[in-house]
Each structure stands twice: as C-alpha cells, then as structure tokens.
Amino acid sequence: MLEYIIIFAVGILVGGINGMAGGASVISYPVLLATGLSPVSAAISNALGVTPANFFALIAVRHQMRGYFQEYKKLIALSIVGSTTGAILLLTVPPGIFEKMVPFLLLFASLSFLIKAKPDRGARHGLIEKIGISASGLYCGYFGPGQGVLVIAVLARDIRRDPKTLNTAKNLIVGWTSLISNIIYIFSGRADWPVVIALLLGASIGGTFGGRWAARMPKSVYRALILTVGFSASALLFKKYYFG
C-alpha cells in the first residue's frame, strides 16, 4: 500500500510539472522501476498513468481548444503516426536499445531551447517543424518521458508563439499523441494496472493545477522551469544508463 501512496504523490508532482512545462515523467519512470517492474512494463505503465495530465492541463483554456486544434491538427496527425510506430517498436525491439539514446535526446532538446527563437522561415521552417514533431511522436511511442521538452523545443523556433501558446500546443499535441499509443499499450498485456491507477489519479490532480499556473506564468519563470526539468532529466538518465 505504501508504494502506491508514493506513486500517487509522485504523480501529483509529475502531473503539475508536465502541465506547466513537460519532461517530468522521467521522474516517475525510475520510481516505477524501483517497484520491480521491467523496463518495458515501467515505460508502458508510466505512459498510461501520466497522459491525463496533459488533457487536464487544458481545462484552463478549454474555451480556446477548437482554435488550437484547427491550427495544430496537422502536427498532431504527424506526431500520432510517429507515436504509433514507436509503440510497435517498444513491443517488438529489445528494450535496452532506445533507452541508451534517451539522455542524449533530452540534452539536445534542452540545449536547443537556449537558442534564440527566430521568425518563421516559410516552407523550410515548416518542414523542419514537421520532422521534429514526427520525431518527438516516435520518441513518445517508444519511451515517452521528456516528449514535452522536445515538442516545446521544436515549437519555440517560431517567435510568434508566446509561453502560454507553447504550453497549450504542447499539451494538446502530447495528449493526443500519447492517447493513441496508449491504446496499443492497453492491449499489450504489459501494464501494471494498480500502478497505472495510482499514477493516473495523482497526475490528473497535478495536471489540472499545472495548466492553470502555466497560463499565468512569467516568461522568465517558464523558461527557467523548462531548462531545469530538461537538464535534470537528462542528468538522471545519464547516471542511470551510463554511470549507474
């Protein structure tokens, strides 16, 4: 029972940070591993448990959802294709292969956020954005933690997007992407459902408050939170997979 209470508490923390920024599900992943789950089962249970945080974070801007969906529906579709491919790979490829790449992907995502955003460059900019979002979807389907950081790093290249817009678009893209890959996970038979439920309840609560805080968050604080989560997550994974 104690381990489920801990997972619930971690879910609140992860849901809150994911609702505001993204990438915090890397915190819950090692917690699930510590309960004795295999890497694949932990990844699947983690994905199923934290996904609602992105949707609950959208409650604060629910009246604007139709407009956001129309604007980002092409990127959502590309991300879903990538996520479906990644989920299939997770269930068929030896689990250790992609996990070795995760620290580098998170570090790259964090560093790219330090680069000053530039104006839209037309077709070339759009192509790069589509490739980046598709890649983040593949990452989401195969492993998951840190996808929010990757999505924001891609979307932030367009200077017209303010922090509120970035956060809402991120939650929308990550939410729909994760929902589709989760359907595949549900039928995989590898989820630990008591763990999923404990994490889901906590993440839903945290995500609701995280979305509200993000809508009022100063740009400097938002940026600092993104960088802190990104660098911390990559450091934790480097330690786990290379120096553990």
Q: Which domain holds residue 15?
A: 2-242
pTM of the complete model: 0.79
Count of structural domains within the chain:
1
The reported pLDDT for the residue numbered 84 is 96
| Phi, psi of 101, rounded to the nearest 5 degrees | -90, -20
pLDDT greater than 80 at residue 139: yes
Q: In the predicted model, what is the mean pLDDT of residues 176-195?
A: 93
157, 101 in Cβ contact below 8 A? no
pLDDT greater than 90 at residue 87: yes
Handedness of CA 77, 125, 117, 108 (dihedral sign): positive
pLDDT confidence band for 80 (50 / 70 / 90): very high
pLDDT greater than 80 at residue 165: yes
The reported pLDDT for the residue numbered 118 is 57
Which residue has better confidence, 129 or 216? 129
The reported pLDDT for the residue numbered 216 is 65
- Please work out, in degrees rounded to the nearest 5, the angle formed at the alpha carbon of residue 179 by the alpha carbons of 177 and 180: 70
90, 181 in Cβ contact below 8 A? no
The reported pLDDT for the residue numbered 26 is 77
- Rounded distance, CA 244 to CA 242, Å? 6
Which burial class, exposed, middle or buried, applies to 3 when counting CB atoms under 10 A from its CB (0-12, 13-18, 19+)?
Answer: middle
Q: CA nearest 21: which of 238, 228, 176?
A: 228
pLDDT greater than 70 at residue 169: yes
Which residue is it, tokens 């997770």? Answer: 90
The reported pLDDT for the residue numbered 217 is 63
- Rounded distance, CA 95 to CA 113, Å? 28
The reported pLDDT for the residue numbered 221 is 72
What residues contact residue 169 under an 8 Å CB cut-off, 6+ apart?
Answer: 68, 71, 72, 151, 155, 161
pLDDT greater than 60 at residue 194: yes
